[in-house]
A and B are shown apart, each in its own frame.
Chain A
Amino acid sequence: MEATLDLRNGAVGEAPSGPHEETETVTLSVPDMVCGNCIRTVETALRDIRGVKAARANLSSRRVFVTYDVPLVSLDDLISALKKTGYKAGPLNESVADNGVQSSDLLPRVGVAGFAAANIMLLSVSVWSGEASDMDSSVQSLFHWISALIALPAVAYAGQPFFRSAANALRGRRLNMDVPISLGIILACGMSLFQTIQGSAQVYFDAAAMLVFFLLIGRTLDERMRARARGAAENLLSLKALSATVVEDDGSSRSLPARSLTPGMRIAVAAGERIAADGIVTSGTSEIDESLITGETVPRTVKPGDRVHAGTVNGGGPIQLKATATIDNTLLAEIGRLMLAAEQSRGRYVRLADRAARFYAPAVHVLGLSTFIGWMIVGAGWEPALTHAISVLIITCPCALALAVPAVQVAAMSRLFNQGIIVKAADGLERLAEVDTVVFDKTGTLTLEHIHLADDSAIDDAVLLRAASLAVASRHPYAQAVVLAARERGLKVVAREGVKEVPGSGLSATSNGQEERLGSASWAGVPVAANQEASLWYHRGDEPPLGFRFAERLRPDAHETVKALQDADYDVELISGDRVDAVALAARGTSIDVWRGATRPDQKLARLDELKSLGRKTLMVGDGLNDAPALAAGHASLSPASAVEISQTAADAVFQGERLQPVIQALMVARAARRMALQNFAIAIGYNAIFVPLAVSGHVTPLIAAVAMSTSSILVTANAIRLRSMRLCLTPLRRAP
């Protein structure tokens, strides 16, 4: 029993004095927790378990921290208790849980910078108004000294993120946005200190503190949004965390999480369970649903000696397998290799703000330097020359670039977040905006995860109900589709007693001397050559057997989404690993003209590369393991929340829900964000065009510098915030003729 959970963060009490002293704290993700009542339900459900010492829910991160006694409670108890109350929960990795929401040290810096900026501004305003009235120079000097006393330590502490980033860039012989920022701040503080000692009126402490404060706000917002998106993505993945029942040599079994399995372990997989590790079947026969791995919707029959992949679902009877190392698994190894190569090509993408910085940062430095040299040539002496050069640096300090672009992206990401689309990186958003071709996968992307009964109007209620009451005993995808169809008709499905399941064949039950069978054609006694259309047969006594046909269900808005994309001049393609006829059907259902079926992962990748060589920017939308390399290779990529872990990790954004419309939302918001970012650049350039000549000519007083900088920052931020509530529609792309 104590071995059930040696996997988490180990025992917490270092020297356990008794069995009850050993407690552990785990972090569970509960993505469905959205309101005050949820907090209460979740916490109460957990605290009611005997052995749970504390449960504290965090609504912002959708997580709950639970402390419990190790011998009394296991992780599975917690998860199943939550499941009973209707909340799906999953364990988070300790490393993942720790770099969660509050890892940032930016917030205290914002507080310090805000305190400094407010108090220095108070003193500065007195000095400015004192210039117009009767303030004498000794009081002015006192105020400057107090400002220095506040500004220097505050800037030294709060400005560290910029200094560090600038130092890193310079060490790598690059220029980034933080280099002119740091230079401006340091020069402004240094020069102001010198002027204060000299007793001059040109003191820029307020500008320096204000600059740090505004820039820190932008950076904090950016980081919060990113942490939130990352946390939400991790929450989704944690629900997929697999655990496996490991069978020991002596026959006892214990539950282990998938990541602590080692090759050679014997694993028992019950019917309906997801297989936790790649392995070779050692006993039992079953049917494996591999749709997430290959895109193939028809289950594959496996028998001892066959290979099975992690992530597939055991649809038939219980099997046992021997775990094998990932390395000798050809499919996974191949996918890993393809992904690595594909990701390298995307690593070269340069973000919008960095592209602007390439031109902006050198320009600022040249401008500042030439102002200094210019004033020296004119013969103004080095002091005023340096003051003017610094005011140029302060005025041009790239507030708009460093604050407005993140502000736009935060607004865009949080708008998408509220619609269930988790954008994991800001550069993903930028790449989404450039897309002109959309490539869909079929299984699980255009279609829903589960198959359903096709043309079931031909089957009458009584027969369907009888078949369903047999099928309810099985976890096979076909059986579940039959049960679902019966429930959708409003029939009350009651489980039959004495149902026997023969893996790979079907179900049988005997009542009133009549045997009923539900399963494959041979199981139901149908001649093989008869009607191959049906894939499941029901047969009772002497009645003729009845065939059930199955189809995948397209996502409810798949067709209109594809049409909206086509109307907006996007090229839409469908590439799937499933059988050609199934893909053709889906292509017809969504009126996609360009499609191909039965493609291997490397063929998908090849098609994407082909599109790239034609100069297209491709958005890949897919969910399966076989899509992972293509997701990594696409210019941008989206994946539904039902996707396998590796695909969700490879995708730029993950969308939740049954609908496909988030694809349009994501494209729309991404393009709007790009537009806003460019608008903000325009605002920034306009502001520079007015104030830089003033600064170069030496007319920028500390008052003008402070006012100009604040207004431009507020203006671009306000513009960015508009994106949150703006009405958007997908406008046609403008393509180069």
Chain B
Amino acid sequence: MISLAWLLPAALTLGFIGLLAFLWALRSGQFDDLEGAGWRAIEDGEPSTKSATPETQAKGSTNGHR
């Protein structure tokens, strides 16, 4: 029974990490476009550099859209 002392916290912590990961993914917009994400993964072309400039991201995020 003494093993419960570390088994229980370990199980709950792992579950809690999973929950936090889900909430983080949700907040960072990874569930915004489930269909599009699948297509983007198999896209052959180079990722566009123009949209990824730090300047643009800062501007975009002020509006809530990425």
Interface size on B, residues (CB 8 A): 38
A56-B66, A65-B65, A111-B22 known; A36 and B15 CB under 8 Å? no
CB contact under 8 A between A67 and B60, given known A59-B33, A60-B33: yes
Q: Residue A61 at the B interface, CB < 8 A?
A: yes
Asked if A112 is at the interface (CB within 8 A of a chain B CB), the reply is yes
Interface status of A569 (Cβ within 8 A of chain B): no
A47 engages B50 (CB within 8 Å) = yes
A12 lies within 8 A of chain B by Cβ: yes
In the complex, chain A residues whose CB is within 8 Å of the CB of B26: 107-108, 111
In whole angstroms, what is the CA distance A60 to B35 when docked?
6
A115 within 8 A of B: yes
Interface string of A3-44 (1 = CB under 8 A from B): 000000100100000000001010100000001100110011
The reply to whether B50 and A115 form a contact with Cβ atoms under 8 Å apart is: no
Residues from chain B with Cβ under 8 Å of A563 in the complex: none
The answer to the question of A58 belonging to the interface, with a C-beta cut-off of 8 Å to chain B, is: yes
**A276–chain B nearest beta-carbon distance, Å:** 27
Could you tell me if A60 and B36 are in contact, using CB atoms closer than 8 angstroms?
yes
User: Which residues of chain B are near A53, meaning CB under 8 Å?
Assistant: 50, 55-56, 59-60
Partner of A107, one of B29, B31, B33, B65: B31
Q: B1, B12, B32: which contacts A101 (Cβ < 8 A)?
A: B32
Task: Please state if B39 and A39 are interface contacts (CB–CB under 8 Å).
Answer: yes
A residues less than 8 Å from B59 (CB atoms): 12, 23, 25, 53-54, 67
The reply to whether B34 and A139 contact each other, CB–CB distance below 8 Å, is no
Whether A115 pairs with B16 at a CB distance below 8 angstroms is: yes
Given the known inter-chain contacts A111-B19, A115-B16, please indicate yes or no for A39 contacting B36, CB distance below 8 A: yes
- Interface flag for A677 (CB, 8 Å): no
Query: Could you tell me the distance between the alpha carbons of A67 and B43 in the complex, rounded to whole angstroms?
Result: 23
Q: Which positions 13-33 of chain B face chain A at CB distance < 8 Å? A: 15-16, 18-19, 22-23, 26, 29, 31-33
Residue numbers in A under 8 Å from B29 (CB-CB): 102
CB-CB under 8 A from B8, the residues of chain A are 146
Q: Does A118 contact B (CB under 8 A)?
A: yes
Q: Which of these, B23, B43, B50, contacts A40 with CB under 8 Å?
A: B43
Could you tell me if B18 and A115 are in contact, using CB atoms closer than 8 angstroms?
A: yes
- B28-53 CB mask vs A (1 if < 8 Å, else 0) is 01011111101110110100101100
Complexed CA–CA distance, A112 and B20 (Å)? 9
CB–CB A39/B60 < 8 A: no
Question: Which residues of B lie under 8 Å from residue A102 when comparing CB positions?
Answer: 29, 31-32
**Is A119 an interface position by the 8 A CB rule?**
yes
Given A39-B36, A58-B32, answer yes or no on A118-B51 (Cβ-Cβ < 8 Å): no
- Contact residues on A (Cβ < 8 Å of other chain), bracket: 35 or more
Contact B15–A27 (Cβ < 8 Å): no
Q: In the complex the two chains form, is B18's CB within 8 Å of A25's CB? A: no
**Interface positions of A from 558 to 615, Cβ below 8 Å from B:** none
Known contacts A12-B62, A27-B65, A59-B39; is A47 also within 8 Å of B56 by CB? no
Question: What residues on B are CB-neighbors of A39 within 8 Å?
Answer: 36, 39-40, 43
A118 to B15, CA, bound (A): 9
Compute how far the CA of A67 lies from the CA of B32 in the bound complex, rounded to whole angstroms: 18
State A118–B16 Cα separation when bound (angstroms). 11
The closest CB in chain A to the CB of B33 belongs to A58
> A470 an interface residue at 8 Å Cβ cutoff?
no
* Contact between A119 and B65, CB atoms less than 8 A apart: no
**Interface check A57, CB cutoff 8 A:** yes
Q: Tell me, rounded to whole Å, the shortest Cβ–Cβ distance linking B30 to chain A.
A: 11
B59 → chain A closest CB, angstroms: 5
Picked from B1, B36, B64, the residue with its CB within 8 Å of the CB of A57 is B36
In the docked arrangement, what's the CA distance between A185 and B31, Å? 29
On whether the beta carbons of A67 and B56 are closer than 8 Å, the reply is yes
Looking across the interface, which residue of chain B has its beta carbon closest to that of A65? B65
Q: Give A335 Cβ to nearest chain B Cβ, in Å.
A: 36
| Chain B residues near A67 (CB-CB < 8 A) | 56, 59-60, 63
Give per-residue flags for A103-130: 1 if the beta carbon is below 8 A from chain B beta carbons, else 0. 0000110011001001100100000000
* B65 closest partner in A (C-beta): A65
- In the complex, A56 Cα to B51 Cα: how many Å? 8
**Residues on A with beta carbons closer than 8 Å to the beta carbon of B18:** 115
Complex CA gap A242/B62 in Å reads: 28
* Interface presence of A55 (CB below 8 A): yes
Question: What residues on B are CB-neighbors of A23 within 8 Å?
Answer: 59
Within the assembled complex, what's the spacing in Å between the Cα atoms of A150 and B34?
A: 30
CB neighbours (8 Å) of A12 from chain B are: 59, 62-63
Instruction: Compute how far the CA of A53 lies from the CA of B60 in the bound complex, rounded to whole angstroms.
Output: 9
Q: A residues within 8 A CB of B19?
A: 111-112, 115
Q: Which residues of A contact B64 (CB under 8 A)?
A: 98
Cα-based distance from A343 to B11 in the complex (angstroms): 55
Question: Which residue of chain B lies nearest to A134 when distances are taken between CB atoms in the complex?
Answer: B1
B50 / chain A contacts, CB cutoff of 8 Å = 47, 53-54
Out of A59, A61, A65, name the residue touching B66 (CB < 8 Å): A65
**CB-CB < 8 A to B12: which residues of A?**
119, 146, 150
Q: Are B32 and A60 in contact (CB under 8 A)?
A: yes
Answer whether A47 and B51 are a contact pair too, CB < 8 Å, given A115-B15, A118-B15.
Answer: yes
Report the separation of the CA atoms of residues A115 and B45 in the bound assembly, to the nearest whole angstrom.
39
- Choose one: A25, A40, A44; the contact of B60 (CB below 8 Å): A25
A159, chain B: closest CB distance, angstroms: 17
What's the Cα separation between A40 and B19 when bound, in Å? 33
Q: Give Cα A36–Cα B36 distance, bound, in whole angstroms.
A: 7
Chain B residue numbers with a CB within 8 Å of A44 are 48
With beta carbons under 8 angstroms apart, the residue of B36, B42, B45 that contacts A59 is: B36
The answer to whether B39 touches A54, judged by C-beta atoms less than 8 angstroms apart, is: no
- Give A71 to B48 CA distance when docked, in angstroms: 24
Find chain B residues with CB under 8 A from A115 CB: 15-16, 18-19
Question: Could you say which residues of chain A place their CB within 8 Å of the CB of B39?
Answer: 35-36, 39, 59
CB of B35, distance to nearest CB on chain A (Å) = 4
Q: How far is the CA of A65 from the CA of B48 in the complex (A)?
A: 15
Across the interface, name the chain B residue whose C-beta is closest to A52: B50
Q: What are the residues of chain B within 8 A of A47 when measuring CB–CB?
A: 48, 50-51
Least CB distance from A43 to B in Å reads 7
Chain B hits for A107, CB < 8 A: 26, 31
Chain B min CB distance to A238 (Å): 16
Q: Which residue of chain A is the closest to B45 with respect to CB atoms?
A: A40
Assembled-state Cα–Cα distance A120/B41 (Å): 37
Q: Which residues of A contact B31 (CB under 8 A)?
A: 102, 107
Q: What 3 A-B pairs come out closest when comparing CB atoms?
A: A36-B39, A59-B36, A65-B65
Sample (10) of A-B pairs whose CB atoms are under 8 Å apart: A53-B59, A54-B50, A65-B66, A67-B59, A67-B63, A98-B64, A101-B32, A102-B31, A119-B15, A150-B12
Residue numbers of A with Cβ under 8 A of B are: 9, 12, 23, 25, 27, 35-36, 39-40, 43-44, 47, 53-61, 65, 67, 98, 101-102, 107-108, 111-112, 115, 118-119, 122, 139, 142, 146, 150
Chain B residues close to A by CB (< 8 Å): 1, 4, 8, 11-12, 15-16, 18-19, 22-23, 26, 29, 31-36, 38-40, 42-43, 45, 48, 50-51, 55-57, 59-60, 62-66
